[in-house]
Structure 1
């Protein structure tokens, strides 16, 4: 059914990524699909905030995220032959949508964080991804 899947995870909340990971693994195994796993390190929001950090800070943060994602994915997806990892920095929903297009994903799997009054049903990134994606989006609680 799906040839290419994109799973989004947050390496700072890997416990919250367990259920979406289970769903993605099941889908990948069932369809013999290529599975792309993506973590996006949020940017600083305002350029003035970024000016307080050293030039190497971004590189170090991205490297830490990459190592964390490799370790986590290696434990959960060891049996899957078609797993690709991606780490980027910027606006989460925007980069997820771009990556989905880049890898020609048929489906995106995202986790839904616990609802807060302002988010109501799903978090703001999952909501934006769901609204704007050209692919099917599975929001996993």
Structure 2
């Protein structure tokens, strides 16, 4: 049913909770797990005129988010691929899912509601609303 499972991560505890669901799906369907971190484009705008140091720091933070999930997946004998992209998170997640022919996306919600949700927006909500790939939204524990 699922050959490729996408697990976007921001390195949060909520993303770690979603990882358990992604591992379970990948194990059950013998699917390849893709772990993705997106460096938000708005954070890279401060890079102009400062060289590559800021971008390197942001990519290092992305590796710190991705590495433990990749290690956990590998320890479970899962086939795993990882990537770090730069851009608008929901757009990059959707583009990656399309490019890699992902069957399902497993991602966390951060439990925002009310004004915080309206002002900040929800990456998960946008991926669900705009994308065509099924999404499992795992609430923050």
Length-normalised TM-score, structure 1:
0.84
Cross-structure match for 1:20: 18
Does the CA contact (< 8 Å) of 1:25 and 1:77 recur in 2? no
The DSSP-based 3-state class of the residue aligned with 2:71 is helix
Cross-structure match for 2:10: 10
Cross-structure match for 1:57: 54
* Number of residue-to-residue matches in the alignment: 136
Alpha-carbon shift at residue 44 of structure 1 (Å): 2.1
Q: Which moved more, 1:21-30 or 1:60-69?
A: 60-69
* Structure with the higher fraction of residues in helix conformation: 2
RMSD of the alignment, in Å? 2.1
Query: How big is each residue's C-alpha offset from its partner over 1:97-133, in whole Å with a ceiling of 9 and x where there is no partner?
Result: 000011100111110002231327xx51111100111
Does the CA contact (< 8 Å) of 2:40 and 2:87 recur in 1? yes
The DSSP-based 3-state class of the residue aligned with 1:110 is strand
d(CA) in 1 for partners of 2:10, 2:14: 8
The DSSP-based 3-state class of the residue aligned with 1:104 is coil
Q: Which moved more, 1:78-87 or 1:2-11?
A: 78-87
The DSSP-based 3-state class of the residue aligned with 1:69 is helix
d(CA) in 1 for partners of 2:95, 2:137: 18
d(CA) in 1 for partners of 2:125, 2:7: 15
Length-normalised TM-score, structure 2:
0.84
Structure 1 unmatched ranges of 5 or more: none
Does the CA contact (< 8 Å) of 1:7 and 1:110 recur in 2? yes
Does the CA contact (< 8 Å) of 1:111 and 1:139 recur in 2? yes
Does the CA contact (< 8 Å) of 1:44 and 1:50 recur in 2? no
d(CA) in 1 for partners of 2:126, 2:17: 20
Structure 2 unmatched ranges of 5 or more: none
d(CA) in 2 for partners of 1:86, 1:102: 12
